[in-house]
């Protein structure tokens, strides 16, 4: 399979290694907005992200994959490109353990030594990072980033855009609202509202972002 990686920073090194674990794969280019125009380096195309629209037409068998950790940036790029979702590839590292009953959406990456257990469902353009555990019956919406060594115990629900910090733990059946951030090392014992940052053991809301204030998000909906 032929890949173009969107994003050419530190995270792209990991994605590159993942893709090349399969000798049948080939990386034909990197797109990042620090490139101002299209050029070729070692027979690979390098250019700004909007060139994805052109390259999708030029390469019939091309697949795109994100190497961008920021959830909001990935969402914004997907919306701006408006490329059919089938152009985005899902990749999993060979050391990841994934139950046959798991459902994974387009554009999602499952990193080394991650574990995803029975009947979990993962949306589009997510990152299930190194050493993380997604237990049975968890539901993860689009543009979520489960950071390294995060643990989602059974039946946890993460809404769109959630970020779980490295080493955080979500106890069974907790629900975390849209675009919430869980701090590194936090333990979530109860539902967390959207558009907030929660930290500590047990995790408590530390702050809300401006979007939650503008929309008048109600905490009791998630309590």
CATH number (domain holding residue 47):
3.40.50.20
**What is the tally of structural domains in the chain?**
2
Q: For residue 57, give its domain range.
A: 2-87
Q: Where are the alpha helices (DSSP H) in the chain?
A: 10-20, 52-58, 71-81, 210-215
Q: Are residues 46 and 138 in the same domain?
A: no
CA-wise closest residue to 18 among 113, 104, 141, 84: 113
Q: Give the β-pairing of 103-104 and 187-188.
A: unpaired
Q: What is the C-alpha separation between 210 and 110, in angstroms, rounded?
A: 31
Q: Look at phi and psi of residue 125 and say left if phi exceeds 0, alpha if psi is from -120 to 50, else beta.
A: left
pLDDT of residue 214: 53
Q: List all residues 6 or more positions away from 42 whose beta carbon is below 8 Å from its beta carbon.
A: none
Q: What is the C-alpha separation between 134 and 140, in angstroms, rounded?
A: 9
Tokens, residue 133: 């555990």
Q: What is the C-alpha separation between 86 and 92, in angstroms, rounded?
A: 17
pLDDT of residue 115: 98
- Supply the pTM of this predicted model: 0.91
Among the options 8, 93, 125, 136, which is catalytic?
136
Spatial strand order in the sheet of 157-158: 103-104, 121-122, 139-140, 157-158, 175-176
Q: What is the C-alpha separation between 159 and 65, in angstroms, rounded?
A: 22
Q: Are residues 96 and 202 in the same domain?
A: yes
- For residue 34, indicate whether it is catalytic: no
Q: Is residue 211 part of a domain?
A: no
pLDDT of residue 28: 92
pLDDT in tens, the chain (223 residues): 899 999 999 999 999 999 999 999 999 999 999 999 988 888 889 999 999 988 888 777 899 999 999 999 999 999 999 999 999 999 999 999 999 999 999 999 999 999 999 999 999 999 999 999 999 999 999 999 999 999 999 999 999 999 999 999 999 999 999 999 999 999 999 999 999 999 999 999 999 876 554 554 444 333 2
Q: Are residues 56 and 72 in the same domain?
A: yes
Q: Are residues 69 and 133 in the same domain?
A: no
């Amino acid at each position: 399979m032929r890949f173009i990686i969107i994003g050419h920073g530190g995270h792209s090194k990991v994605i590159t290694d993942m893709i090349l674990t399969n000798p049948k794969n080939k990386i034909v280019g990197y797109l990042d907005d620090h490139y101002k125009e299209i050029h070729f380096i070692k027979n690979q195309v390098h250019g700004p992200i909007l060139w994805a629209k052109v390259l999708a037409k030029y390469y019939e068998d091309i697949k795109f994959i994100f190497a961008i950790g920021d959830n909001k940036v990935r969402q914004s790029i997907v919306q701006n490109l408006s490329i059919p979702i089938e152009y985005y590839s899902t990749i999993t590292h060979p050391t990841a353990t994934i139950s046959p009953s798991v459902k994974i959406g387009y554009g999602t990456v499952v990193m080394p030594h991650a574990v995803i257990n029975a009947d979990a469902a993962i949306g589009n353009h997510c990152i299930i990072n190194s050493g993380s555990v997604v237990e049975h019956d968890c539901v993860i919406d689009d543009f979520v980033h489960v950071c390294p060594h995060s643990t989602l115990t059974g039946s946890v629900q993460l809404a769109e855009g959630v970020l779980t910090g490295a080493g955080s733990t979500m106890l069974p059946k907790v629900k975390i609202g849209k675009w919430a951030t869980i701090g590194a090392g936090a333990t979530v014992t109860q539902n967390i509202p959207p558009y907030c940052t929660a930290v500590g053991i047990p995790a408590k809301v530390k702050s809300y972002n401006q979007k939650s204030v503008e929309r008048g998000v109600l905490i009791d909906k998630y309590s």
